[in-house]
Amino acid sequence: MISRDEMLNLANLSKLYLSEDEIEDAMKEMDGMIDFANQIKEMSPNSHETPNINGLSNALRDDEVIESYPQNKILENVNGGKDGYFYIKKYN
Amino acid sequence: MSNSKRGIIKRIKNMLSNKEISCKELTEKYLSEIKKSNLNAYVTVCEEKAYKDAEKIDEKISSGEELNFLEGVPMALKDIISTDGIETTCCSKILSGYKPIFDATVWKKLKQNGAVLLGKLNMDEFAMGSSCENSCIGGAKNPHNINHVSGGSSGGSASAVAGNIAAYALGTDTGGSVRQPASFCGVVGLKPTYGAVSRYGVIAYASGFDQVGPIAQTVEDVSLVFDAISGYDFHDSTSNPNVKMKTFNGINNDIKGLKIGIPKEYYDGVDEKIKLSIEEAVKVYESMGATIEYFDFPEVKYSLPVYYILACAEATSNLARFDGVRYGYRTEHYKDINEMICKTRSEGFGPEVKRRILLGNYVLSSGYYDSYYKKAQNLRAVIIKAFDRAFEKYDVLITPTSPVTAFECNKKFSNPQEIYLADICTVPVNTVGIPGISVPCGFDSKGLPIGMQILGPKFSESKLLNVAHKYETFTDYKNNKCVEMGVRL
């Protein structure tokens, strides 16, 4: 069983707020999901290999400056930002 | 002529080239049917842009230039695929208003091929779901019966194609999200090999599993679209630079001597009618000279928990970027930066997304990492090897696409895991990175479509499309109610 403290820690790691009601439900759901995940404990892998899903390695490009997206275009998604920056309200 | 099983893309090309219809008129037909449709398949319709693009195609036709296959064909994209200047939300409140400033490579390629974009398609929020009902605009409906779900997560893509309000569509498949809705809606859906199609500009759910795939009425159409979108992309370091695939010319090849394996474990808990339909389909292959063998595949049953552990872990990391600072939704009232981020995420994400983020953080957190995340990675390697062994013996494997047909809308599941079981036949493909295709193979007693899934080794798309096409040419669609829906050409 997942404890309330563990659940709150997970919410904190996830940057999510959970209301009192949500905490109870989330704990129940998490227990079910963990049981579901526990199926893997039935099987012991005979290797400790980590898979390489596409067989590629070190897909690196040359270390050269390449064109990027213009700042003003990027800021269009926050109504233009402010003075070329992303902008959030001032807080104390 | 009514919509039959013949590919619609070739027909459109002929109609446009012969000047039976202009591209603008054709686009108008689609847009008008989209407006009338009750399928809730579209989240954004790009009317103005579609007409503009259609006019360009018409100019090309009047100047006597030859059209390629996809030129002027009205299509649509799942709302997870970035489109420059067109809202792309993943059907999540947290991305409301977000307009990408670049095109995903798959869309760029289709654009270069002259595709006419009708709009963006409904989906489960961030591609997390099997019914499309986790969408912030409500689920897309199944054209065969609108009281049933379209499947998910690419529900809008399958619904739009089946309902003839897009000639073809792109979806994404992380655990079955192209194949399962294609199966539920009675259309064809291909999940390509991991690395065969660029993921650049496709908003990430689980980067080690995601692939873009086409959904269309026929295998022929799927092949044409796949050939256009596949190939190496500099912008996606996981796309494979060594493989070039052109599948279309081989779809009619003879399949005599094809070795088909039937993994028994895939049939546990599957509806009887679905089992029967697959058995019938397998007999068709036998009659074409293929050999059939049933075999035990015990490793496959661990694919589902392995998938959910690893995909949720990746989702946790990928979705950490949504903080309300740079795009999309931002909460109104907050007193510090942490509260702004937490409130934005709590208000912006839906319940299924939160569930998966929480599980992902659980399996990655100190004390649990080794027993869940690391062990699941080890098991993933074991499952990959088991598939490698199967493909040493068989050319392709045949399974159901889903253990059930499309369920009713708003169906209550006792817990989230129950709905995850709907993915049991599709998830292994993503766990292993191989391609899989779903083709319609019959209808259940309620008239809802059944899908057959064909799997092959990595980069065997040509073989899969060939095998699927051979079956398709044998079947008929006379029970398909959807032929009278939407645009009739």
Write the pLDDT tens digit of every residue in B62-92: 999 999 989 999 999 999 999 999 999 999 9
pTM of the model: 0.97
Chain B (113-132) residues lying within 8 Å, Cβ to Cβ, of chain A: none
pLDDT at position B39 is 98
Q: For chain B, give the percent of residues with pLDDT over 70.
A: 98
Asked if the structure places residue A77 within a domain, the reply is no
| Partner-chain contact B302 A26, CB within 8 Å | no
Nearest C-alpha neighbor of B76 from the set B162, B143, B150: B162
Nearest CA in chain B to A87: B325
What is the rounded CA–CA span in Å between residue B279 and residue B287? 13
- Which residues does B329 contact at the CB level (< 8 Å), separation at least 6? B93, B94, B95, B96, B97, B344, B347, B348
Asked if the structure places residue A92 within a domain, the reply is no
Token pair recorded at residue B230: 């596949």
If you ran DSSP here, which 8-state letter would residue B481 be given? G
Query: How far off is chain B from A8, nearest CA to CA, in Å?
Result: 10
pLDDT at position B455 is 98
Q: Answer whether B160's CB lies under 8 Å from B169's CB.
A: yes
**Greater model confidence, B484 or B32:** B32
Q: What is the CATH number of the domain that holds A19?
A: 1.10.20
| Partner-chain contact B305 A36, CB within 8 Å | yes
* B326: nearest CB among A14, A29, A78: A78
Asked if the structure places residue A68 within a domain, the reply is no
Asked if the structure places residue A60 within a domain, the reply is no
What is the rounded CA–CA span in Å between residue B78 and residue B43? 9
A41-83 pLDDT, tens per residue?
988 877 788 888 888 988 888 999 999 999 999 999 998 899 9
| Total tally of structural domains belonging to chain A | 1
| Domains defined along chain B, listed by start | 8-297+381-484 (3.90.1300.10)
**Greater model confidence, A60 or B448:** B448
Chain A positions touching B303 (Cβ under 8 A) are none
* B346: nearest CB among A16, A38, A40: A16
* A86: nearest CB among B316, B326, B382: B326
